[in-house]
Homo-oligomer: A and B are copies of this chain.
């Protein structure tokens, strides 16, 4: 039966684990399967066509595991590939951009909203268009932060280098009078304390990934495919195209639970680009 199948999560690397963390909290009855394409991370600087191709490869990998719902837990992939994948799949497909947009509009009081994300996400203008289509009088300030994902993926997000990079990168946003800042990349919640410190307490940070889990929860009910606790679940599964060891270490640091079953997989015969 479909309701007992897993929810699939894909990301360019470990960032989507911030969404998984929230899913484990909000959806304790569900089984999760995660795939991070760490070997080809970051997706941010890549051309849209390539991101779409990689996202399909990840999607197909999870479809073979009979997932009942797909969460594109990566802003860059959501921005360029969500529409196409949602149209072609016969299971619900959820991205991270609309939930982040709704949450930002709900949070702002002065209509000055900042968006930080990868070069790919910012270039796609996906957040900007979504915000303005709902609330045309919003002042949107977008900023690409290409250095953030590599810091997180290399597990350096607690370092003094991270602190310096975050501070310097966010400098252009300081005078924008923002009261709300969307963390438009699922890697960024790992840098949250640093980002909050630079922006100040008056700026509300929106974790698009956490917001997404509320949407997943609603859709499970709407399509009547929520799992029940009576059914003993198989364990969650984690896959990466990169180092299982590094993935495991970051996952355990972040998720604060023991992540078993991290397995390294290959998605295609192509040479992986790396960084």
Q: Which A residues lie at the B interface, using CB under 8 A?
A: 26, 29, 92, 94, 98-99, 102, 106, 133-136, 214-215, 217-219, 221-222, 226, 228-230
Contact = CB atoms under 8 A, between A and B. Distances in A.
A229 B102 CA distance: 15
Q: Is the interface of A mostly helix, strand, loop or mixed?
A: helix
Nearest to A99: B218
B136 A217 contact: no
B136 A226 contact: no
B134 A226 contact: yes
B98 A229 contact: no
A135 B222 contact: no
Given A215-B218, A218-B218, A229 B29 contact: no
B98 A228 contact: no
Given A94-B222, A215-B222, A219-B222, 14 more contacts: A26-B106, A92-B222, A98-B221, A102-B218, A133-B226, A134-B226, A134-B228, A134-B229, A136-B229, A136-B230, A214-B218, A215-B218, A218-B218, A218-B219
A15 to B, nearest CB: 22
Contacts of A221: 98, 102
A69 B84 CA distance: 24
Nearest 5 A-B pairs (CB), nearest first? Answer: A98-B221, A133-B228, A215-B218, A218-B218, A136-B229
Contact of A29 (B26, B134, B218): B134
Contacts of A26: 106
B229 A135 contact: yes
A217 B102 contact: yes
Contacts of A134: 29, 226, 228-229
Contacts of A214: 214, 218
Contacts of A228: 133-134
Nearest to A92: B222
5 contacts: A92-B222, A98-B222, A102-B217, A133-B228, A134-B228
